[in-house]
Copies of this chain bind each other. A is one copy, B any other.
Amino acid sequence: MAEVRNKQVVLRDYVVGFPKESDMNTVEGRITLKVPEGSNDVLLKNLYLSCDPYMRVLMSKMGHEGFGCYIPGSPIAGLGVSKVLESGHPDYKKGDLVWGMTKWEEFSLVPATQIDFKIEHTDVPLSYYTGILGMPGLTAYVGFFEVGSPKKGENVFISAASGAVGQLVGQFAKLTGCYVVGSAGSKEKVDLLKNKLGFDGAFNYKEESELDATLKRYFPEGIDIYFENVGGKTLDAVLLNMKLHGRIPVCGMISQYNLSQHEGVTNLAHLIFKRIKMEGFVVNDFYHSYSKFLEFVLPHIREGKVVYVEDIAEGLENGPAALVGLYTGRNVGKQVVVVARD
């Protein structure tokens, strides 16, 4: 069997501070398009790759306990939608579409355990399985409904609100009958939140010098649920504005991942004064809820009651720029990299 070209995005060295495009190289590897004799692995053609904030953590030398880290000189890895070219595992066969952990390259040979789910519904865009129908979608669903325990009429604040997860939390909160305000980092994103995603209010945090006062303006009676995506100063201001028995599902702290010393949060005593529950969660603990989630969200997508904004980068060679753009907020909506469309 002849080898073919396999373009790859490789980490050059461990990253300190903000990641740069030049922290990654696009190189030409070679791969034999064949599952080795006797192997249970699955050979994938990668179609859509997902850019997710947690990937920054894996670029650091230490990575994080339970998260691992990338290896300089090897391709980086992440979630993606792929087509099965050949399978050594009985659960998968040629032509299956799947999503799960794959590598940033054209073709990957992966253990079957890295595949999260076989894709059953293809009447929706395939790229959605990196977003609304994949990890970010399930994250929004379990974080808001299971960790946040929302009730109709409650006040919900979402940071990074136009991102892959935030835009869905906001729409789920509106479907629940909540009052929803989001923060984002540009006028374009704020317009999107208000005009396309149905938020009751939205503001550009970069233009607000006193975040505490801004929150008091949008939430004169306080916040019941803060869906935390950013950490740092935003969290500190939110703590001053939480209502009694408020909840803070902690999904991410993207503002902090590139700092060698994280910002100090000083208002934690409000957890006591207001009896607040602040709970970190990782979506991997909730993959058993995926089919329930699909049942919930697919009809809403088909009926146009939930929409999803994607930011599509064309070609693996544009992947590094797309990925590092997450940390400066360059993307508008879910950042996806297209390697191939089928």
A residues sitting closer than 8 Å to B (CB atoms) are 64-67, 231, 235, 244, 250-253, 256-257, 261-282, 285
CB atoms of A273 and B65 under 8 A apart:
yes
10 contacts between A and B (CB under 8 A): A65-B273, A250-B271, A263-B264, A264-B265, A265-B268, A271-B279, A275-B279, A276-B280, A277-B278, A278-B279
CB atoms of A280 and B285 under 8 A apart:
no
The one of B264, B272, B280 in contact with A250, judged by C-beta atoms closer than 8 angstroms, is: B272
Q: Which residue from chain B places its CB closest to the CB of A66 in the assembled complex? A: B273
Copies of this subunit: 2
CB atoms of A235 and B268 under 8 A apart:
yes
Question: Which residues of B lie under 8 Å from residue A264 when comparing CB positions?
Answer: 263-266
Question: Which residues of B lie under 8 Å from residue A256 when comparing CB positions?
Answer: 269
Q: How distant is the Cα of A279 from the Cα of B248 in the complex, in angstroms?
A: 10
Which residue, A65, A261, A276, A278, has most C-beta atoms of chain B within 10 A? Answer: A278
Q: Which residue from chain B places its CB closest to the CB of A278 in the assembled complex? A: B278
Q: How distant is the Cα of A264 from the Cα of B277 in the complex, in angstroms?
A: 19
CB atoms of A263 and B262 under 8 A apart:
no
CB atoms of B282 and A272 under 8 A apart:
yes
Q: Contacts A66-B244, A244-B66; is A269 near B262 (CB within 8 Å)?
A: yes
Q: How distant is the Cα of A331 from the Cα of B250 in the complex, in angstroms?
A: 37
Q: How distant is the Cα of A285 from the Cα of B273 in the complex, in angstroms?
A: 12
CB atoms of A253 and B279 under 8 A apart:
no
Q: How distant is the Cα of A137 from the Cα of B273 in the complex, in angstroms?
A: 19
Q: Contacts A264-B263, A265-B265, A266-B264; is A271 near B280 (CB within 8 Å)?
A: yes
Instruction: In the A-B complex, list the 5 residue pairs whose CB atoms are closest, starting with the nearest.
Output: A264-B264, A271-B280, A272-B280, A262-B266, A277-B279
Question: Which residues of B lie under 8 Å from residue A281 when comparing CB positions?
Answer: 272, 275
Q: How distant is the Cα of A265 from the Cα of B265 in the complex, in angstroms?
A: 5
Question: Which residues of B lie under 8 Å from residue A253 when comparing CB positions?
Answer: 268-269, 272
Question: Which residues of B lie under 8 Å from residue A257 when comparing CB positions?
Answer: 269
Q: How distant is the Cα of A273 from the Cα of B281 in the complex, in angstroms?
A: 8
Question: Which residues of B lie under 8 Å from residue A244 when comparing CB positions?
Answer: 66
Question: Which residues of B lie under 8 Å from residue A280 when comparing CB positions?
Answer: 270-277
The one of B65, B261, B277 in contact with A277, judged by C-beta atoms closer than 8 angstroms, is: B277
13 extra A-B contacts, CB within 8 A, seeds A271-B278, A272-B280: A64-B273, A66-B244, A250-B268, A251-B272, A253-B269, A256-B269, A257-B269, A264-B264, A265-B266, A270-B280, A276-B280, A277-B277, A279-B279
CB atoms of A268 and B231 under 8 A apart:
yes
Which residue, A253, A263, A273, has most C-beta atoms of chain B within 10 A? Answer: A273
CB atoms of A272 and B285 under 8 A apart:
no
Task: Tell me how far the C-beta of A325 lies from the nearest C-beta in chain B, rounded to whole angstroms.
Answer: 21
CB atoms of B251 and A67 under 8 A apart:
no
Task: Tell me how far the C-beta of A231 lies from the nearest C-beta in chain B, rounded to whole angstroms.
Answer: 6
The one of B252, B263, B271, B277 in contact with A266, judged by C-beta atoms closer than 8 angstroms, is: B263
Task: Tell me how far the C-beta of A79 lies from the nearest C-beta in chain B, rounded to whole angstroms.
Answer: 17
Task: Tell me how far the C-beta of A136 lies from the nearest C-beta in chain B, rounded to whole angstroms.
Answer: 15
